[in-house]
Every structure is written in C-alpha cells, then in structure tokens.
Structure 1
Amino acid sequence: MFSEIISSHFPEIDSEYLDYVTGILSEGSDEFSSSDDVYEAVGEVLQGLDDKPDDDIEKLCKELFNMMKDDKKASKGPVRILDAPMQMGSLTDAGNGTGDDHSIWIAKKDTSSTVDKKKLGKAEEKIKQKQDKRAADDSKFRAKPAEKGMATASQQESRKDDYENNDPSVKVSDIRIDNFDVSFGERILLQNASILCAFGRRYGLVGRNGVGKTTLLHMISSGILKIPACISILHVEQEVVGDDTLAIQSVLEADEHREALIKEEKEINATLNAAGSKRARSDSKLSGRLAEIYQEMEDIEADKAPGRAAVILIGLGFSDQDQQRTTKEFSGGWRMRLALARALFKKPDLLLLDEPTNMLDMKAIIWLESYLQTWPTTLLLVSHDQQFLNSVVTDIFYMHSRQIDHYKGDYNMFVQTRNEKLKNQQKEYESQKMYRDHIQVFIDRFRYNANRASTVQSKIKLLAKLPELKPVEKISEVVLKFPEVDKLNGTVLQLDEASFHYDPAKPIFEKMDVAASMDSRICIVGENGAGKTTLLKLLLGALEPTKGFLHRHRNIKLGYFSQHHVDQLDMNSNSVEVIQKQLPGHHVEIYRGALGAFGVSGELALRPVISLSGGQKSRVAFAVMCFGSPNFLILDEPTNHLDIETVEALGHALNKFKGGVILVSHDERLIRMICTELWVCANKTVTALEGGIDKYKELVESEIKFAE
C-alpha cells in the first residue's frame, strides 16, 4: 500500500530504504495524528533520497496520512446497533481459563518489529553517508563558526530557509535574515534582529560607534549568519597581497570564470598547435570544446574586460603607468583601492563595503558616487560620509538598542522620518501616561469607598490590561571638548619659499609659501600622492625643507592626529592604561577626565582597546593628542572610523576651539562646517582656492568628465 505510493515518487528507491520507510509507517499508523507527524517520522529520510523540495515531501506525507485514515475507516467495518445492553466484561476470555487475551480491555499491541534488522542497518548507514556528504558540501559554501575571541551569532531558520541557505542550486535573489542575535563576549550587540535586502537596492548601514556595524558585515561575509547559498558575497576588508602581479591583471583575475576560460583556451590551442600532433589537430572533441569556449567568452564580453577594468582603476586614481606596476610597489592604502577595484569589477550578488571613502581622495569619492548609483546588484555599505550616503543609497538600516530599523530613502530622508517618528512616539507616550494618571487618580480617590468598590475594581482591571508604558528612547548627544588655550597673536606657523624632495629627480614641492594664525581653519585637499601628508610633516617639523625656511611661534604647542594613530594603540591595554603609558605621572582620575572629554567614560574606558570600535579608538587617540593642551591642531583624516554624529560633534568642537586648525579631510560636511580657507596640493605647490569646497568640486567633476 505505502510502497506503491513511495515508489511512484521515487522510482529508483533502494529496497532497503523502501522497507525501512514502509515499516515505520505500518508500525506507527495508529500513533500518527496528522501529516506533520508523518513528516517528522520519515520526512528527512525521504528528502535524503533525491533532495526534493520541502513542499513535495510535505505533499507526499499528507497523501500517506490520508491513506492511513482511509484504511482505519475501512477496518472498522459496518456499524451494528445492539438490541439490548451488553456486559462488556463477559467478552473477555480471561475468566474461561483459555489464557487468550482477546478482550478489548486487556488486549496488548504487538510491538515486535516487522523490519529486517540487517536491511534497517544498511538503510541507516546510507542515510548517514548522505547527511555527511551534504554537510561536507555545505562547508564549501559557508564558513566555519566564529573563532575564539571573535563576535558570535545565532540565527533562527525555518525549514525553507535552511533549504535555501544550504543548496546552491536554489535560485533566489533577495536576502532575508530573520531572528538573529550577535554578541561580542558578554556584550549583546543585536537581539532578535531581522533584515531584508531586496535585489538591486543599495542599503546604508548607520548607527553610533560600537553598535556593531562592522561586526554585522563580518558575520554576513564569513557565513556565520547564513544567506542563500546561491548568492555570491564580496566584502572589501583586506588589501590585495603585494606580489609581482600587475595592477590591471590583479583586477582582471577577480573574474575567475573569465580567467578559467582563458587558461583552458590557451591549453587547448597549445595542444592543437603542438609540433607533429596531427592527431590532436584532428581531434573533434578538443575543437568542439574550443568553439564552446569562444562562444562563452563572447557571451560574457570577455574582450571588453580590460577596458572595463581600466575605467575602474582610472576612476579610483590609478594612472596608465600605475596600472602597469606590480601590486608589491603600492602602499597598503593603494592596495586597499585595488581590493575595491576588484570588487567593482567582479560585481558579486551582494557587495559589502565598510567605510569605502576612508581610502579615497575627493576626486575618487566623486567618481565612486557616480559609479555606485547604477550598481546592478545588492549593495550594503557602512559610511560616515553624509554626502556619499545621500548620493548612493536607496534605503537606510539604522542600528540602535540591539535592533535594526529599515527606512526608505537616503540619509537626509532617514533623519527627517526618524525625528517625526520619535515625536509621534513621544506624543503617544504622553497621551497614554496622562490617561493612566487619570485612572490612577480615580482609583486612589475612591479605593475605600464601598459605593464605588465595583467601579474601582473595573478601573484596576482596565489599568492592568493597558499595554506596557515605555518611555521614548532618547538619542544621547555626542559631545567632544578640546582644551582651553591662550591665544597667540599674528602668524604662528609659516613656510617661506620652501621646497622638498625625497629624490632630487622627483621634487614634491617647489618654492611654496603658506602661513597660518590662531584664527586659521584650513582644510588641505588634493589627489592622493600630491603631498598632503608631507606638507603636514613639514609644518610639524618632522621633515625639514630641502630649500627655504619654516617659521614657528616660540609658544606654539602642536597637537598632531595621524590617520595611523588608531593602529598604533596598544590593543591589549584599556584606554586609561594607554594614555597612562604614553604620558605617565598623573593620577588616574586625570586620565579618566581627559578620556571623558571625548566620550570614553565609565566602563568603556576600562575595556581592552581591541574590543572598541574604530570610532571609539579614534576618540582615545584624540584624548592622547590633547592631554598636553596643544594650542594648534594638525589633523590628518580625523573622520576615519567616526560615526556621523561624532563627525558633527567634532565640527562643533573645532569651531569652539580657541587655537588654530589645519586638517586634511575628504568629508564634505566637516569641511563646510569649519573651513574658512582651502589649500589645494597640486603641481608641486600649494595654493589657496577662492570659492572654497564648491569651487574645488567643480574643478574635480570637470576633470572626471574630461577623462571619460
């Protein structure tokens, strides 16, 4: 009966499997109360036979269960109405001394197995082999669990999710991760969170430093949080390895399918062209495969790939000469650009970018904004640059309070929608609180009034049924505070007719004249490699001009924030210990006060630096820089790793600072907040640009259009 149905769905089923499954169904038919019980008993075994979808297996289990019900009805026979009452106990044979137990009261179910033990063992062994093979296949598509000391995650999956997440043959395009938790040690970052990324949408992931944005990207890219196995993921987090590969070839190699076709085509041609290999030349199989390869290469437009790679590299700042240099000749920052270029060239189904503008100058950022606006697949990026988010993203994921909220639109629309939402929540909270207070006043007034006892009781029950009253979450304001300093008059920092070179044949600056006072708010811009960081080191005195002079006020105290400060912190110490080691001799409360001025307070100051987010590490670096109360600040890319709220707080703090400020930055919002002068590094000199950042953007955009 069961065997016929199962065989019709699985024509090639082994006899051991068939006996095993039908034996379970026959023995347990009385205990199955629904098709779900049948699925629990044999569903996994049936699915292992042919990797059929869950829906097909569930339909088969329902069919088997219906057959069981029909069989039970048939076995009962026709209903007979008794002519008179009957003593049921008289039906037992126990009192006859026969020893037969046929009474309906004492009959026992025969529990002896009808399945051949040897066949059962073979079936179970085959099932185990199938499961082991499936687990091995899964490991090819999904990474191992998180390593010790790393963040961990847990995820609730339905049977459908598990099927999609582990079978690469199932084609889906949207990405849904439901009911997942993420924690770092004992600290919970996300709890019962869910995200849905629709194919072709571009999502910005925003939130305060330390909420777990970078950790979430890592959880997705490493496979700890599972997504459908058919979706290719690329997370730009590690720089390209420095070796003898040319820059443009490194980008082309990102397309593994194209590279494999080219390699196979060369091998076949070498075989066909081998001297004296007449047999090879007449081999129709090789010739046929070669024709297939040419067709595949034509379909993927393999001939256009070098041009496409070159466009991406030029947009990210690589000249024609740079593209022909080996990867080992580039610095870490430029190799990160190569990693980004490889990702853009490969076009994965899901591209994950973590602060992509940190490694780029303004020209490259403007190009990347334009390029990503037509990105064809799904994009999820973390960025502190409001202008970049407004230009690129179609949706915002907002991480806060261990949850992720989804907002449609760019960053500005998100801020507006969130503020309106918070206002409405506050009104609702106040209205509900007023209603509760009104009921409570009535209860308190008539609690002991016998005539109102029933009314009071109904009011108490009404109050208990009201939803829990939760105050609206208040977004704490980020406050940064630079030290109070005495003002110095006149020019305090000046380079006069200054030139500089590392190699006399390649001068970086020639006859440069720049000056700054305590009122200066100067931003230095220019392409990477134009000498911005070198200029800062000349002003600091870390480098000496090869010609010309550096003039510094005798009472100037310089504070320098390097973009590499964060990497130089002792990761195994806490923030208090870091500042104590670098500047010893003070009470611990002095150190804690310095850290508190930059938002590193309480338990945060006692956490190991390695457990802090990039933005929190930057705040520690600010505290170290300001401990000696400098009166002139020189900042090299200070916004790297800071969240949007902290960037804004930095702008307000610099405006309140009484000393001078010179900074290198590509963050347009920060430049607009504080900049009164714009210095452009280009053509071996530094010039002040009239018109500020708007004029500079016009010049850059015109250069990009000309290059295209």
Structure 2
Amino acid sequence: MPVVLSVQAAYKRYGHQHLLEDASCSFTDDQKVGLIGRNGAGKSTLCRILLGEEDLDAGEVVQGKKLRLGYLRQHDPFFEGETVSDFLIRDSGQPDWRCGQVAWQFALGDDMLHRPVRELSGGWQTRVKLAALLLHDPNLLILDEPTNFLDLRTQMLLEHFLRDFRAGVLVVSHDRSFLKQTCNHTLELSRGQLTMFPGDVDSYLDNLDERREHDRRLNAATASKRKQLEQFIASNRANANTASQARSKAKQLEKLEFVEVRGEEARVHFSFPKVIPRQGPALRAEDLTIGYEDRDIASDIQIEIEHQSRVGIVGDNGQGKTTFLRTLCESLPVKGGQMKWGFGCQVGVYAQHVYTTLRENLTVLEYLDYQAAPGTNTQQLKDVAGSFLFSGERAEKSIKVLSGGERARLVLAGLLLEQHNVLVLDEPGNHLDVETIEALAAALKRYEGTVIFTSHDRYFMHEVATAVIEVREGRVVSYPGGYDDYVYRTQKEIDVGLRSESTTKATDQSGGASGSKSRGKSDRDLQKQLKSVERKIAKLDDERKTLTAEQVHATEASAAKKIHDRLAALSVEIEALEAEWLELSEAVGAW
C-alpha cells in the first residue's frame, strides 16, 4: 500500500534533551500503528510534527498527495455553550443530517446532540471528537491517548471501530491491552530513535528482550575472542618467526566490534508508606443518597468496604463513579442516609485532573516538600523524587515545563510522602506510561492499607482490584463477581448490541411469522430509500461545493448570475431531500 506520510532524518531537541536524533519512519494507508514510549520521550511532539504544527530542527516530513489526515487532540476544541450538533457542523462543514448519522455510530443520540459539549463527561467528549474525525473522511487517523477518560464500554466500541476502519491509524497510548486489540504494527520512540516493528506491542516487547539477550551473548563471544587474539599478539609479535601471524591477528582484532546493546530505560520504583494493618470495616454506607443540589445520582446505597481490600469502582461514564468517590472523600456532602469511616482512617486522595491545578511556579522538590509530612528531611525528598525519575537536575525543574505524565507522577510521589492508611484514587493511570502503571499496580498490591479506586485501564484493574463495586442506573452495589467477570459481561453486551445493529430490527414477537417477514421487508425498503436519499444529498452537496468555489473566481456577470441561480436551486432541492431524509429516518426508527 502507498506511503501517505513519512518523517526522514529528523532531529528535534528541547534544551539538553534529544527527542529525535536522525530518526526516520513512514506510514501507509493500511497500517494500524501503536506508538509507545516513556513519558517525556516526545510522543505528542512527534504527533505535532507529523501534523505540521511544530517544526523539526533538521530533516523533513513528507506528505503524500492523497493524504487526508485526521487527529484526535488531547485539548478541548469546543466553544463555550456550543452543543454537540453545533460543534460537529462547525468542525466538519457537513449538514446536520450527516453529522447526526455519524454521531449515531458512537451512541450520540438526539438528546446528546442538543446538549452543550462541555457539560458532558470526558468520555462522551472523546466520542464527539471521534465523530468529528470521521466526518472529515481521513485515510490516516492520529489518536493521542484516546482511552483517557473512556469507560470500558466506549473503549470496546472504539476497538471495534478501529479494527473495521479501512485506512491507516497511528495510536499514541499507554494502554497495552488497547494497543494489542487495535494495532498490527508497533512504533517505539526511545532515546531519540524510532523503531517500527511488524507486530503488536506484546510481540515487539518480547522480540526486544530476545534481541537484547542475543546481543549480550554476541558481545560475550566477541570479548572472549578479543582476549584470545590479544594474548596471541602479546606472545608472538616479538618473535621473528611468528611476527607475521601476530600482525594478521592484529588486523582481525581491529575488525572485531561490540554490538551496542539497547539498554532498558530507567524505571519508576516506589512503595507506599508502611501502615499498621487493620481489621473490620473501613467504610460503611447505609441508605446513602449521593448527587448534587438539583438532582440525585444514586440512592439506597448499602455498602461495606473492609480494611486491606482494594475495591475497583466500575461503570459507564456519566453513571456517577466520580460523584461516588467525591462523596467518599467528603468533597460532596451526603444527600441522605449515612456514611461513616472507621476509627483511625486517614484518607489520601488522588483526583482526576489534579495535576492540572498544580502551582506552576514551584519546582519538583518544592512541591514535594510542601506535600510531605512534618519531619521529612531533604534526603528523603530527593530519594522519593529519584524513585519517580526526578533525579539530579530534573528535581529542580519547574512544574510549568513538565508533561502531563510527569505531573501525574509528581502527584503520586507527593502521596507517598504523606501518611495514609486509606487511598482513594480517581483514574490514577491517566497520562502515565506503561512502565509506571505497572510499578503503581505492584506498589498498591504490596500496600497493606485500603484502596478504593476507579480506572479505565484493564490491565491495572485486573492486577489491583480484589473486589468490585458497580455504579449503574442510579444504584451503587457490590458486584457479585470479580473484574474479569465484569469485563466478560460488558463484552457480551457490546457483541449483542453490534449484532442487532448489523441486522434488521428485531421481530415483533406478537406478530407471528408472516408479520415478521412483512416487518423485515418494510424495514429493508425504508433503508433502501434512506440510502438513496443520502446519495442524492451527497451528490448535490458536492455540486454546491464546486459551484461555490467557481463563484469566487467568476469574472463575468452572466456567469456569476448563472452560478448564483443554480446555487439557489440546489439549496431548495437539498432542503427538500433533508426533510425527506428526516421522515424516513424516523420511520426506520419506528420499525
């Protein structure tokens, strides 16, 4: 397949850090590539370079003539008060019927289309951005951390979409499970170099370990051979009879070179503070109601959480997971019933978006000193900073220059310096790289306190959770199975939903066989009519775009008037067809 985008002999540096150093790679319109790398390695910078939003210090980015690039940004592109429909129309330039059609693929129904985008949760906002991307008909998608803030159900929908998407994809993600499900190539950015591998992320990492071990063995053999040659040369170069042999061996020695073994990068190493293990309930809720002044989110909550348990809070976005956690942390008042922490519980909190509210004028060490428990000395601060990869000059860096992942690491480091026997963590894995998430999971498994957390990272939930609480449809209940059971059930629900969408509407059980056939036939006829109208609208819309472009360059009055009249007629035709499309769409929905 043709190459649609490439970066060649690229150099990019910030201060003393070399993000790209003579790096090259290319992307075709059928590859699904997962981009991995440590926080601060330059993944988002590489995306901006590929998009033309940032320049290289040297080298070039080459765009193919047929490239249609789509980019899922991390930042918020919405205007204040703008509805979902308004945003999609503004961003894509497509008519409202087309925007609604694409939005439906991401379960953005009529009720969502007319809501202000900024009132939606992060996961629903990501769905809106994805719908906007599709409206541009790209042949290469760049998705920067698409799973951040997405619930499990939406992640699975996105996985289905990407697997079926018939074009190229570059996914920047820390979520190894998501990458394995969606990408057939892996691109690693490490120490300024780009390495493309024709396989998924697990295969790449396994291959990387094998290559490192092969190179180590090769270097060991080379070292042994060098030693033999050096001994022979030393023993024989002064002897006239063997001097020529010694010279020959010297030439062999010059040709022997060690292979550079790609060393593993520094890893985060940490443990949460030692706590005195406790028994019995850490938290008890009876007849609890949670929510806000104008509405209840869930009621009649009967929950008991035991000390030393690690409870994962699950549920779709917008169901109330964060509301529940905020109530537990007492940042939201209880609306009804009772909630009580056990005696001696000291609660530490990691909240979503907390890293965005840090005081940017502080350095890493100054922030840690501010967070630390009384009596913490400077060496202890430096030890914790170093374990989170903030050693030496990095510990003196200002917060304002840290990446999102580095800020998230810093907040976690601050938690370690406080004294807590209960941790409430809201999406602690967002913006952390794969290695840091693994280290965090391992540290929480060693922690002898109580952990209540929510996360959309399946690996993290699987590793950490010993119990599950589900927030769904106004209820908060202890889930009867483990996290793997919850994933299995959700996947089954997704599969059933997708199967029902890909066939005709379910038969009316009360209508009998003949009624089912009649109903199926009517539905298929309506679908055909709907598709026919959509094709007519698309054709007329293309003509309107062409005429609009010609109108700009029209110099003769007669030609300009002719174009104007045709555009007016097109508007009437399109308006009538859109009205017909709405009627047919409603009829299909009724069936």
Q: TM-score, normalised by structure 2?
A: 0.78
1:562 aligns with 2:351: yes
Residue 445 to residue 629, structure 1, CA distance change in 2 (3 Å): farther
1:307 aligns with 2:144: no
The 3-state SS of whatever aligns with 1:462 is helix
- 1:125-144 correspondence runs (5 A): none
Amino acid at match of 1:629: Q
The aligned counterpart of 1:293 is: none
Q: Distance in 2 between matches of 1:376 and 1:186?
A: 41
The 3-state SS of whatever aligns with 1:519 is coil
1:228 aligns with 2:63: yes
Q: CA offset at residue 242 of structure 1?
A: 2.9
- 1:38-49 correspondence runs (5 A): none
Q: Distance in 2 between matches of 1:351 and 1:572?
A: 36
Q: CA offset at residue 503 of structure 1?
A: 3.4
Q: Distance in 2 between matches of 1:541 and 1:244?
A: 30
Contact 1:172 1:228 in 2 (8 A): no
1:634 aligns with 2:424: yes
- Structure 2: gaps of 5 or more residues: 502-591
Contact 1:433 1:469 in 2 (8 A): no
Amino acid at match of 1:565: V
- 1:662-677 correspondence runs (5 A): 662-677=452-467
1:706 aligns with 2:543: no
The 3-state SS of whatever aligns with 2:202 is helix
Q: CA offset at residue 626 of structure 1?
A: 2.2
The 3-state SS of whatever aligns with 2:61 is coil
Contact 1:241 1:327 in 2 (8 A): yes
Residue 329 to residue 633, structure 1, CA distance change in 2 (3 Å): closer
Q: CA offset at residue 682 of structure 1?
A: 0.8
Q: CA offset at residue 491 of structure 1?
A: 1.0
Amino acid at match of 2:20: L
- 1:62-77 correspondence runs (5 A): none
Contact 1:426 1:472 in 2 (8 A): no
Residue 461 to residue 180, structure 1, CA distance change in 2 (3 Å): same
Match of 1:528 among 308, 317, 334: 317
Amino acid at match of 1:648: E
Match of 1:247 among 67, 80, 84: 84
Residue 647 to residue 197, structure 1, CA distance change in 2 (3 Å): same
Match of 1:190 among 12, 20, 23: 20
Residue 356 to residue 471, structure 1, CA distance change in 2 (3 Å): closer
Greater relative CO, 1 or 2 (CA 8 Å, sep 6+): 2
Residue 476 to residue 310, structure 1, CA distance change in 2 (3 Å): same
The aligned counterpart of 1:407 is: 197
- Structure 1: gaps of 5 or more residues: 1-170, 263-302
Residue 386 to residue 520, structure 1, CA distance change in 2 (3 Å): same
The aligned counterpart of 2:30 is: 200
Residue 209 to residue 336, structure 1, CA distance change in 2 (3 Å): same
The 3-state SS of whatever aligns with 2:164 is coil
Q: CA offset at residue 452 of structure 1?
A: 3.0
The 3-state SS of whatever aligns with 2:147 is helix
Contact 1:387 1:668 in 2 (8 A): yes
Amino acid at match of 2:155: I
Q: Distance in 1 between matches of 2:172 and 2:476?
A: 33
Q: CA offset at residue 209 of structure 1?
A: 1.8
Deviation string 1:417-442 (CA, Å, 9 cap, x unpaired) is: 22222222222222212211211222
Q: CA offset at residue 672 of structure 1?
A: 1.1
Residue 530 to residue 332, structure 1, CA distance change in 2 (3 Å): closer
The aligned counterpart of 1:174 is: 4
Contact 1:396 1:407 in 2 (8 A): yes
Residue 422 to residue 441, structure 1, CA distance change in 2 (3 Å): same
Q: Distance in 2 between matches of 1:304 and 1:331?
A: 24
Q: CA offset at residue 600 of structure 1?
A: 2.7
**What is the RMSD of the two structures over their aligned residues, measured on CA atoms?**
2.4
Residue 357 to residue 401, structure 1, CA distance change in 2 (3 Å): same
Residue 665 to residue 548, structure 1, CA distance change in 2 (3 Å): same
The 3-state SS of whatever aligns with 1:174 is strand
Q: CA offset at residue 319 of structure 1?
A: 4.5
Q: Distance in 1 between matches of 2:154 and 2:334?
A: 29
Q: CA offset at residue 485 of structure 1?
A: 1.2
The aligned counterpart of 1:595 is: 385
Contact 1:680 1:687 in 2 (8 A): yes
Amino acid at match of 1:590: Q
1:490 aligns with 2:325: no
1:617 aligns with 2:454: no
Q: CA offset at residue 407 of structure 1?
A: 0.8
Match of 1:341 among 110, 113, 131: 131
Give the total of aligned pairs.
490
Contact 2:219 2:258 in 1 (8 A): no
Residue 355 to residue 472, structure 1, CA distance change in 2 (3 Å): closer
* Identity %, equivalent residues: 29
1:551 aligns with 2:330: no
Contact 2:313 2:469 in 1 (8 A): yes
Q: TM-score, normalised by structure 1?
A: 0.65
Q: CA offset at residue 448 of structure 1?
A: 4.0
Amino acid at match of 1:455: Q
1:691 aligns with 2:485: no
Q: CA offset at residue 248 of structure 1?
A: 2.9
Deviation string 1:27-71 (CA, Å, 9 cap, x unpaired) is: xxxxxxxxxxxxxxxxxxxxxxxxxxxxxxxxxxxxxxxxxxxxx
Residue 173 to residue 435, structure 1, CA distance change in 2 (3 Å): closer
Match of 1:510 among 268, 292, 299: 299
Q: CA offset at residue 475 of structure 1?
A: 4.5
Q: CA offset at residue 183 of structure 1?
A: 1.1
Q: CA offset at residue 185 of structure 1?
A: 2.1
Q: CA offset at residue 211 of structure 1?
A: 1.3
Contact 1:482 1:597 in 2 (8 A): no
Q: CA offset at residue 669 of structure 1?
A: 0.6
Q: Distance in 2 between matches of 1:507 and 1:174?
A: 51
Q: CA offset at residue 371 of structure 1?
A: 0.4
Q: Distance in 2 between matches of 1:699 and 1:470?
A: 47
